[in-house]
Structure 1
Amino acid sequence: MRMGLTPPWLLALLGLTLLRLAAAAVLPPAPDEAYYWVWGRALALSYYDHPPMVALWTALGSALAGDTALGLRLLGPIGVGLASLLLADAAERLFPGRRAGLWSAALLNATLLFGAGAVLMTPDTPLLVFWSAALWALARLQASQDGRWWLAFGVLAGLSLLSKYTAALLGLGVLLWLLAEPAARRWFLDWRLWAGGALAVLVFSPVILWNALHGWASFAKQGGRAGSQGSGTALRYLGELVGGQAGLATPIIFVLCVAGTVAACRSWWRGRDAGAGLLVVMTLPAALLFLWQATGSRVQGNWPAILYPSACIAAAACLGPRWQRWYRPGAALGLALTLLVLVQAAFAPLPLARRHDPTLARLGGWPAFATALEAERQARGAGFIAAEEYGLASILALHLPPGTKVVALGDRWDLFALSRPADGARGLLVRSERRDGAPLWPGAAEIGVVARARHGIEAERYRLHDVTVAAGDPPLVLLPARR
């Protein structure tokens, strides 16, 4: 590999990976991560919310390191480290002699999306790894003109689709590149392009089969989300999108990525640089799509994460000296912000209230909260603890003693191969005070309130209800316990 990474930079990447593994072990799991851990304990061809790759990663990590925070996240830091190497090699092959590999990897790792995101296990984690790998295969294709790389790209694109449906934008980008780049149109006559596409569909076929067997539930959910209309104004949603990306990419790197993409457009248009064109089609169409969606609904901050591998290469390869002097400050600021966020999430040295600290809302106080609920369960002689919110039920299953049964309720659980609790069993329903309306469980009787807090600062309050399993209840399942 011609990555342009010197031994000190390789050691820095290794050290960063080890630090991320340490953070993964220390940082409390979030409810969504616990939900994906449940997936890993109930493996299926696909799931209602997303394709199955995150479940496979959590299952493998938990098999190696146990049902712990590190086990859930083990493959994330390792995968991101490997993706960084592939991205650096891609930059060097597209733009030899510019030392773009070193800085593209450094800038990407300094973003909060990639840096802190490498520690958490969500569908975006494997997506970014396989997206970066697919971009690497395209760079090898462009640099070598060897059509066999279409086969590698097809497999990696399929693995990206197994991670998250957003990976369909990979195919859109490639199609636009083949149509717009005169030198690339010859690939339409090469059987390996079509074979690569067939491989992508083959790798993705388990998700298609699962959807066919379950009324196309996942496709309908994600398709409906993409076309949904929000209640806010276009100006508000656009402001949230741009401001959120400036924060998640970190401000300097965000500006560098925008400027680099503009410079890549100029190089492709004026200089007919096919490598720059490849970066443009991997960045600009998806960015425009997110901007268009933000004119009618909220775009979640993590969705545009796929833009940054190609945008960071563009920033490292296509900008002039006046911009390049911002590389070091941008990387330093990004790494400092990432460290600050991780330290606050893990140890909370700053006594911030919930409204000022999203780490408190998502991560704070779960072990002590689970201990308090277990004491309530034993005191009341209840046979299980239940929750309506899928994340709350999952995080309780991860923290409660293995002998305590956790029941989840809601329509989404109908799509899991999990058993139902026995009729007549009594339990405690835990329900956040932030939820509107009456409990979903018929006949639930409120019996008390329990708070979740970190270092004495309240994160959330929950109402406890006495419930009994009976015929006609909403869908109920018993979640797997820690091993």
Structure 2
Amino acid sequence: MGCRLWLLLFVVTAVRLVLAACMPLTPDEAYYWVWSRHIEGGYLDHPFMVALWIRVGTFIAGENPFGVRLLGPISAFLGSCILYKAATNLITPGRYILVGERAVLLLNATLMLGLGAATMTPDTPLLFFISLTLYALSRALTASEVGLSRVWWAITGAMLGLAFDAKYTAALIGIGIGGFVLTDRRRLWRQLGPWGAIPVLMMVMSPVIYWNATHHWASFIKQGERNGDWHPARALQFLGELLGGQVGLATPIIFVIFVYGAYRTLRRENLLAWLIFLPACVFFIHALGDRVQANWPAVIYPVLALAAAGTNWRIRTAVVSGFALTLGVTVQAAFSPVPLTAHQDPILRQTAGWQEFAHSLAVRATEQGASALVVRDYALASELAFSQNVLPVVGDDPRWQLFSLPAHNVAIGLRVEEERRDKNSSDLCRLSKGHIVRCYASALVSSVQGAQLPKRF
């Protein structure tokens, strides 16, 4: 990579690290932090990789937002270098240096990675291991020796398995690779390498499969139930949300180039076409009857960056506009210079005022004679457990039964839940610069049993 690209990546990584340290945890991040205190082979919502990354980060940097997110910016930096290397084998020979730089710039300029790398969600390790999968696959397809090709196919299976251990949507990339192997003109399906990758893949996926097998297949069933909801009358709404979410997360000009690059793969790149359009079709079909969360297509963003980088179509304009938009969102997230309300600013809504609110809530509970905070909502319970150490937080959501958390019998506790109706009627509110973000209701309860969430210290 050129010196300017190295410099840009170092600067971007430094900014992400600063943002990771400054911004309070979102409720979902606090929930994954709870996971990290009890590492298991899987969890109800996702596989285990995000919990493992948080555990490593907090071991290095402590039980704080920076520790929780530490591996996010670092993995984005390393993943960018790996994606650059993947382009050297997957894109037209002789232009790989320029195309590799374009792919790295395009991916880093998206809001998905630009701001997402400063947070810790399952998408963070997912994007890293998808980039590794693309690199290993490129080496398997271009290796000059049969034995070496088989080794790289095995590594491809391992990296894809680790991506699956981060998020289930990685399976779509695996199916896309399978479709490519079966349809490639080189008849790859007759070679031993692709088949040899399968047992390696299954071995790396086995912790997640074993956890599900020993927990009534809870996670697989939960994800499978998403396909059971079917509301075709709202198809246009869901498709509009899917399109709007991708325009926002990719940033508008990069989204257009992504679409154009994907279209070009239909004629030139059999592999990239499989890796893009098979997952895209799955998301499209799902959106015909149910909502597709905006971050689900993140799994194909590294592939889209490779496809778009080969177009040389307004790349500079797209990258500059993407970084400008991402910088604006980052500044708003860190300093809130524009006085938006919590309804208008989703980052403010999720992150503002937790420390002060949790402390005041614990003081109120103690004054009323409560020995614990009792919370049904898992995200709120996780945030309160991370934000205060005065009282134990007891969760009575059934999902906690899937954890190895200690049971806790509460004689007198203060139950807390979000007030969803008239927020002005409550004096128990989370504030940001004196403005109400969210309000909550509380009531004393007795004889409650639940799971005690971990404390930070």
**Structure 1 length as normaliser, TM-score?**
0.90
Residue 57 of structure 1 is aligned with which of 18, 36, 53? 53
Q: Which residue of 2 aligns with 1:233?
A: 234
Residue 280 of structure 2 is aligned with which of 267, 287, 298? 287
After TM superposition, the structure 1 = structure 2 runs for residues 235-314 of structure 1, keeping only pairs within 5 Å, are 235-267=236-268, 276-314=269-307
Report how far residue 193 of structure 1 moved. Answer: 2.0
Q: Which residue of 2 aligns with 1:408?
A: 395
SS class of match (1:89): helix
Report how far residue 314 of structure 1 moved. Answer: 0.8
Residue 430 of structure 1 is aligned with which of 401, 406, 416? 416
Q: Distance in 2 between matches of 1:153 and 1:392?
A: 39
Check conservation: 1:232, 1:297, Cα contact below 8 A: no
After TM superposition, the structure 1 = structure 2 runs for residues 355-366 of structure 1, keeping only pairs within 5 Å, are 355-366=343-354
Question: How far does the alpha carbon of each residue in 1:442-462 deviate from its partner, in whole angstroms, 9 at most, with x for none?
Answer: xxxxx9640111112211110
SS class of match (1:43): coil
Residue 97 of structure 1 is aligned with which of 90, 94, 97? 94
Could you tell me which runs of 5 or more consecutive residues in structure 1 were left unpaired when the two chains were aligned: 268-275, 437-446
Amino acid paired to 2:386? L
Q: Distance in 2 between matches of 1:154 and 1:266?
A: 27
Q: Distance in 2 between matches of 1:158 and 1:129?
A: 12
Amino acid paired to 2:133? A
SS class of match (1:279): helix
Q: Which residue of 2 aligns with 1:419?
A: 406
Check conservation: 2:41, 2:208, Cα contact below 8 A: yes
**Structure 2 length as normaliser, TM-score?**
0.95
Report how far residue 296 of structure 1 moved. Answer: 0.5
After TM superposition, the structure 1 = structure 2 runs for residues 374-453 of structure 1, keeping only pairs within 5 Å, are 374-401=362-389, 403-423=390-410, 425-434=411-420, 449-453=427-431
Q: Which runs of 4+ in 1 moved over 3 A?
A: none
Provide the aligned length of Structure 1 versus Structure 2. 448
Question: How far does the alpha carbon of each residue in 1:400-441 deviate from its partner, in whole angstroms, 9 at most, with x for none?
Answer: 02x421111111011010112135x211111101289xxxxx
Is structure 2 residue 436 aligned with structure 1 residue 458?
yes
After TM superposition, the structure 1 = structure 2 runs for residues 210-229 of structure 1, keeping only pairs within 5 Å, are 210-229=211-230
Amino acid paired to 2:277? L
Q: Which residue of 2 aligns with 1:468?
A: 446
Q: Which residue of 1 aligns with 2:113?
A: 114
SS class of match (1:354): coil
Amino acid paired to 1:89? K
Report how far residue 176 of structure 1 moved. Answer: 0.9
SS class of match (1:88): helix
Higher deviation after alignment, 88-97 or 277-286: 88-97
Check conservation: 1:229, 1:296, Cα contact below 8 A: yes
Question: How far does the alpha carbon of each residue in 1:175-206 deviate from its partner, in whole angstroms, 9 at most, with x for none?
Answer: 110122111x2x32333322211011001101
Is structure 2 residue 456 aligned with structure 1 residue 482?
yes
Report how far residue 465 of structure 1 moved. Answer: 0.9
Q: Distance in 1 between matches of 2:250 and 2:233?
A: 24
SS class of match (2:169): helix
After TM superposition, the structure 1 = structure 2 runs for residues 81-230 of structure 1, keeping only pairs within 5 Å, are 81-95=77-91, 96-98=93-95, 99-144=98-143, 146-183=149-186, 185=187, 187-230=188-231
Check conservation: 2:232, 2:288, Cα contact below 8 A: no
Q: Which residue of 2 aligns with 1:44?
A: 40
Check conservation: 2:45, 2:219, Cα contact below 8 A: yes
Q: Which residue of 2 aligns with 1:18?
A: 14
Is structure 2 residue 396 aligned with structure 1 residue 373?
no
Higher deviation after alignment, 222-231 or 73-82: 222-231
Percent identity over the alignment is 44
Amino acid paired to 1:163? A
Check conservation: 2:426, 2:439, Cα contact below 8 A: no
Q: 1:230 to 1:361 in 2, by over 3 A?
A: farther
Question: How far does the alpha carbon of each residue in 1:113-139 deviate from its partner, in whole angstroms, 9 at most, with x for none?
Answer: 111111111111111110111011111
Check conservation: 1:28, 1:346, Cα contact below 8 A: no
SS class of match (2:150): coil
Check conservation: 1:27, 1:342, Cα contact below 8 A: no
Check conservation: 1:237, 1:299, Cα contact below 8 A: yes
Q: Distance in 1 between matches of 2:333 and 2:360?
A: 22
Report how far residue 230 of structure 1 moved. Answer: 4.0
Check conservation: 1:113, 1:249, Cα contact below 8 A: yes
Q: Distance in 2 between matches of 1:336 and 1:451?
A: 34
Could you tell me which runs of 5 or more consecutive residues in structure 2 were left unpaired when the two chains were aligned: none
Q: Distance in 2 between matches of 1:448 and 1:333?
A: 43
Amino acid paired to 1:37? W
Report how far residue 63 of structure 1 moved. Answer: 0.8
Question: How far does the alpha carbon of each residue in 1:243-281 deviate from its partner, in whole angstroms, 9 at most, with x for none?
Answer: 1101110000000000011112122xxxxxxxx211111
Q: Distance in 2 between matches of 1:147 and 1:113?
A: 34
Check conservation: 1:345, 1:363, Cα contact below 8 A: no
Q: Distance in 1 between matches of 2:336 and 2:456?
A: 26
Q: Distance in 2 between matches of 1:358 and 1:213?
A: 37
Q: Distance in 2 between matches of 1:218 and 1:105?
A: 33
Check conservation: 1:54, 1:121, Cα contact below 8 A: yes
Q: Distance in 2 between matches of 1:231 and 1:66?
A: 47
Check conservation: 1:134, 1:156, Cα contact below 8 A: yes
Report how far residue 327 of structure 1 moved. Answer: 1.2
SS class of match (2:409): coil
Higher deviation after alignment, 391-400 or 365-374: 365-374
